[in-house]
Structure 1
């Protein structure tokens, strides 16, 4: 399966496309704004004017778009993926989306003689560039094995978690863990500063102990350096937390840490931080502690 159609070339997607091409795949692209794909087109990707054209010519269609409503649109509209791809095509939705929508896509694909996997990713743009993403997959084992080499071109921790929807449920577990961790990292750094310590020196100790995490080591350094450029947008994290919270409520599972984190990030968005990286919570927390928000 060498012909890949790819929809969505944002912060993560553009690196994923490059890694696919490095592994010898012929990649065609569609985005709402062609300008965003120009660098990749110059590097060898092929442009398609419509989703339907892309879907008809691909063995595998990969999507990584912004929100569940975007996923629904590109798959289910008349000129979308499901209505135009050939039988035997495998769809891989790598957007963080709802488990219920993943099941809906998989069922529709099966009726068409196609197959669909939900395969959201974890890891920043740095991991995407290095081809070292964690890829959490839901779907049929036979379809997973068919496209495993495609997934392994983009990630090094590629795991089939279970049936359709299982990849998205796994990603929700990931985001729930990150949500409370980010609050802890922000509070740890601001505590160190308030105590008159150098937070960079403090981090050189605690990141190697029980408190160690990606959020502390990578995003904590960005906080200290006042670097709030997005590796992952605040607005997308809020979307993810909303999906996780709704799913937890359906399972009657209390998630107070997730709920608090979502409220804090929503306040950050309301104060203009929606297009910053998730580490911008540090800036907002300091403003709030100082009575500026």
Structure 2
């Protein structure tokens, strides 16, 4: 198993979007030599300017890395990045470690783990929660699934990116935990937006109202971080709606496999589908407020 050291451990990073660019930068700030690739090179340019080495494919990144991190968009992207013709497992060396921090399906995480293990490569699933703010401030919650020895070896790197790192169990457990997280957030988001609608209709000063309820039993991350954005009509930053809809779809699919009915999640998913239908795919999840305003004919 690799011993993590910022002088010897070579890092690979694939996916330099809203969150990935910050997570990678924290590792670079700690002195790790880093190779990167991304579907769009321009999005990786800030990291290249800071000293990261650009590679054309995931295979090339893996070939020169001891630990490869990925955080991409959708399960199909994860599958391509790991198992495609120029994927990570084409270039990964025996003894190296690969860590998928994308929120994806537990079954795909287990498949990657199985194929990697057959090559002598250690695969871990480690989705995160905390949004762009958590990524930027290195305060993410990281939910980890995989073999304990690999997770233990990777923990020093996780601690650079987050403050809550929990090994949930074997491969796929990190993704199942993230589904639990997203189910809670789905309910929280509709509650937060309906609260703001109610407060506005009742004639309350919403900032004053929030100063009370964010300190009580309703306190939560979404209320503290996303409600202020809604009050400023800031809907274009944060965790993208299209990615949240993807996550809810995975959770509903997994629930179906387990014969679970989740009507609350299904309702929120329908409302977010309305946001998608009105062109909100690349808005932050707080854009749910716009769908609820339309439902209530609120300007």
User: Which category describes the TM-score, using the shorter chain as reference length?
Assistant: over 0.9
Q: In the aligned structure 2, how far is the partner of 1:152 from the partner of 1:12?
A: 16
Could you tell me which residue of structure 1 aligns to residue 220 of structure 2?
A: 213
Counting matched residue pairs gives: 292
Q: Per-residue deviation at 1:188?
A: 0.4
Counterpart contact for 2:275–2:290, Cα < 8 Å: no
Could you tell me which residue of structure 1 aligns to residue 56 of structure 2?
A: 49
CA deviations on 1:101-125 (whole Å, 9 max, x unpaired) are 0000000011001110000000021
Could you tell me which residue of structure 1 aligns to residue 99 of structure 2?
A: 92
Is residue 267 from structure 1 mapped to residue 274 from structure 2 by the alignment? Answer: yes
Q: In the aligned structure 1, how far is the partner of 2:222 from the partner of 2:97?
A: 34
Indicate which of 110, 117, 128 corresponds to 2:117: 110
Q: In the aligned structure 2, how far is the partner of 1:114 from the partner of 1:37?
A: 26
Q: Mean Cα displacement is larger for which, 17-26 or 234-243?
A: 17-26
Q: CA RMSD in A?
A: 1.0
Give runs of ≥4 in structure 1 deviating > 2 Å.
none
Q: Per-residue deviation at 1:229?
A: 2.0
Q: Which residues of structure 2 form unaligned runs of 5+? A: none
What pairs up with 1:122-137 in 2 under 5 angstroms?
Answer: 122-137=129-144
Q: Which residues of structure 1 form unaligned runs of 5+? A: none
Q: In the aligned structure 1, how far is the partner of 2:280 from the partner of 2:58?
A: 32
Could you tell me which residue of structure 2 aligns to residue 247 of structure 1?
A: 254
| TM-score with structure 2 setting the length | 0.96
CA deviations on 1:83-115 (whole Å, 9 max, x unpaired) are 211001101000000000000000001100111
Q: In the aligned structure 1, how far is the partner of 2:81 from the partner of 2:157?
A: 21
Q: In the aligned structure 1, how far is the partner of 2:65 from the partner of 2:148?
A: 21
What pairs up with 1:1-293 in 2 under 5 angstroms?
Answer: 1=4, 2-290=9-297
Q: In the aligned structure 1, how far is the partner of 2:57 from the partner of 2:90?
A: 13
